[in-house]
Structure 1
Amino acid sequence: MSTLDPETLAWLNKLGFEPQDHDLWLAALTHGSHDADVDYERLEFLGDRVLGLCMADWLYRHNNAPEGKLSQRLNALVSRETCARIARKIELGEHIRMGKQARDDGGLESTNILGDVVEAMLGAGFLDCGFEPICELVHEIWSDEFNGDTGEAKHPKSALQEWAAGNQRKPPMYEVIDRSGPDHAAQFTVKVSVHKVGEAQATASNKQEAEKRAAKAFMERFG
């Protein structure tokens, strides 16, 4: 059985995790550049679903909003960007096992990687400790996001779609006009345009966030 680094184990304990199966947690914290045979992707797949169910239950029990509003908040609270903010808040980066080249390329600051590893941790926690204890930890770690305004405002892409329809314009068109950087620290530049109105562009670490930022930039310029 593999053993977690003492500092990482102490960090997990401080967060409220109580690892029993150290192999699970090592996998959750391992990027493919460190060990091609063991990485966090399968646990991230599971943790994404664990977080979604936990958050949906939390919203249902503490929010009387209609389904559409609940979905809007859920999508924002479990988004990769929010998960990455959580990762930075809990100082996850220094505990990710990553190859030197990936580190040098900025992997420890990658929104994609940070968000995915947070979800992988929840997957490991679910298998190791069960659903209820992990939900309690999500409630604690996500409390500022949940009690704040994350997801309260309309998503920029939805706002732009409605603006175009309301002004009798064709639907906005999104196009990836540039992709740069290595896979683990990629940067996407997206252009959004509305026929006979104009265009705007933005860059982010994934296509979805770039589209969101481009839509926001368009609305600030033309909305």
Structure 2
Amino acid sequence: MKLSAELKAFEVRLGHEFFQPELLVRAVTHSSMSSPTRDDNQRLEFLGDRVLGLVMAEAVLEHDQAASEGQLAPRFNALVRKETCAEVAAEIDLGRVLKLGRSEMLSGGRRKQALLGDAMEAVIAAVYRDAGFEIAKNTVLRLWGDRVKTVKADARDAKTALQEWAQARALPPPEYIQIARSGPDHAPQFTIEARLKSGEHQSASAGSKRQAEQAAAQALLSSLN
């Protein structure tokens, strides 16, 4: 298989030339473009998540050999979460080469955080399948750059931080309730309310439930603080 000029340019940005170019094509193919003759990137995403996890687990252990498990876990979570994957994807302009269906194209899919994060994991798996773990590891560490060194010791996403806040006060975990959905199917907007058993609550809206939940959790944390 011969790659397009855009995908060849992406290989340069990624820093890996594929021996099996069909793996890269599959990694950048969203499910909205799948067909009986065209595989999408969902299975690669599943694998890439695990490869990334192992690379980052080793990296945080090596960087701080005196840290406890309780200190390492939030750093690890911050490095592997979808938001971080999406940041890295944006840095190498992964969105430009994604193969998307018409509805995703019209809804700005090339810039969607969740979609970019998933595709980044799929690309990691493609590198792993193409050249093995060591090459995949080196690729990930190069792309993540100084993040391993600069991630904060108390780095946590908002939902985790809110749950820990509740647990420290003997409260059950927060609830996340969808209170509204608007917009067309190809570009929905979700409004989620984060609610504590003690009565405090805040809501936020975003283009995915995951993002709306995080935003609502952050809003509630801010009001509590």
- TM-score class, shorter-chain normalisation, is 0.7 to 0.9
Aligned partners of 2:190 and 2:212 also within 8 Å: yes
**Aligned pair 1:69/2:68, yes or no?**
no
Describe the shift of the 1:158–1:51 C-alpha distance in structure 2 as closer, same or farther (beyond 3 A): closer
Query: Which residue pairs with 2:150 in the alignment?
Result: 148
Give unpaired runs (5+ residues) of structure 1. Answer: none
Separation in 2, partners of 1:45, 1:170:
31
The Cα of 1:152 is off from its aligned counterpart by: 3.3
Bigger mean CA deviation after superposition, 147-156 or 18-27: 147-156
Match in the other structure for 2:61: 60
- Percent sequence identity over matched residues? 41
1:109 aligns with 2:107: no
Residues 43-101 of structure 1: per-residue CA shift (max 9 Å, x gap): 11111111111111111111132112211111111111111111111111111112233
Are the aligned partners of 1:28 and 1:43 in contact in 2 as well (CA < 8 Å)?
yes
Name the residue aligned to 1:98. 100
Aligned residue type for 1:97: K
- For 1:203, give the aligned amino acid: S
Q: 1-side partners of 2:78 and 2:120: how far apart?
A: 15
Q: What do you get for the CA RMSD once the two structures are aligned? A: 2.3
Query: Normalized against structure 1, the TM-score is what?
Result: 0.88
Q: Name the structure 2 match of 1:19.
A: 18
Q: Distance in 1 between matches of 2:74 and 2:128?
A: 25
Partner Cα separation in structure 1 for residue 224 and residue 211 of structure 2: 20
Opposite residue 143 of structure 1, the aligned amino acid is G
CA contact (8 A) 1:25 1:121 kept: yes
Distance, in Å, in 2 between the alignment partners of 1:14 and 1:164 is: 43
CA distance in structure 2 between the aligned counterparts of 1:6 and 1:104, rounded to whole angstroms: 23
Are 2:10 and 2:94, in contact at CA under 8 Å, matched by a contact in 1? no
For these two proteins, the number of residue pairs brought into alignment is 222
Relative to structure 1, the CA distance from residue 10 to residue 222 in structure 2 (aligned partners, 3 Å threshold; closer, same or farther) is closer
Quote the residue 1:86 is aligned against.
88
**Counterpart for residue 203 of structure 2:** 201
Deviates more, 1:190-199 or 1:167-176: 167-176
* 2:178 equivalent in structure 1: 176
TM-score by length of 2: 0.87
Separation of aligned partners in 1, 2:47 and 2:166 = 38
Cα 1:41/1:163, change in 2 over 3 Å:
closer
CA distance in 2, matches of 1:118, 1:48: 9
